[in-house]
Amino acid sequence: MQTFQRPLIGVIGAGECDQATYDLARQVGSEIAAHHLGLVCGGLGGVMEAAAKGCRQNGGLTVGLLPQETAELANPYLDIVIPTGMGIMRNALVVRAAVGLIAVGGRFGTLSELAFALQMNKPVTGLHTWDISEQIINVNSPAEAVKELLTHLDF
C-alpha cells in the first residue's frame, strides 16, 4: 500500500454564498491542487463545496470535518469525510489540521476560524473576507491567495 502525505491548506468561508464567491472558492481549490497540496474544510456547501470541487477536479486531496455526527450532509467533492459531532466547535479542528488558511468571503463561522488561526499563528490569506488583523494578508485573486500563503510556509 502506498502512503503519502500532503500538507493541507484550509479553505474557510460561508456555507451559503453567491455565484461570484463560489467561483472564487472553486478557483482557490484548483490552485491548491495545482501546487500538489491537499485541502481541508468544514465539509458542507457554499465556499467549502466550491473549493473542494475545484481541488478534487484537478487531482487534489480533499478532507471535510463536518459539524454533524453523520456524513449525510457532506458535499460530494470530499475524498475523506470526518463527522465530528462537535457542531461549530469543529472550526478549531479545521484550523488545527491546516498548515495555513485561505478565507473566501465568510460570515461569523469564518470569523471564528480566523480568530483561531491568528491564535494558533497560522498564516492566512483572504479574498473579500473579514478585515480584523494586519496578519490576514488580503489578496486579489485565487492564484495570489495560494502563492502568497506558500511564501509563509516552511516545506
Per-residue pLDDT of 101-138, as tens digits, reads: 999 999 999 999 999 999 999 999 999 999 999 999 99
140, part of any domain: no
In order of 5, 90, 117, 118, the CA distances from 84 in angstroms are: 22, 7, 19, 23
Cell of 14: 460561508
105, part of any domain: yes
Domains contained in the chain, number: 1
Domain extent for 87:
8-130
* Mean pLDDT, range 81-85, rounded to an integer: 98
* Mean pLDDT, range 73-90, rounded to an integer: 98
For the question of whether the overall pTM of this predicted structure is more than 0.85, the answer is yes
139, part of any domain: no
137, part of any domain: no
- CA-closest candidate to residue 141, choices 110, 111, 115, 102: 102
The CATH number linked to 93 is 3.40.50.450
144, part of any domain: no
138, part of any domain: no
90, part of any domain: yes
The angle at the Cα of 69, spanning 97 to 32, to the nearest 5 degrees, equals 30
Cβ atoms 91, 109 nearer than 8 A: yes
Q: pLDDT tens for residues 46-77? A: 999 999 999 999 999 999 999 999 999 999 99
155, part of any domain: no
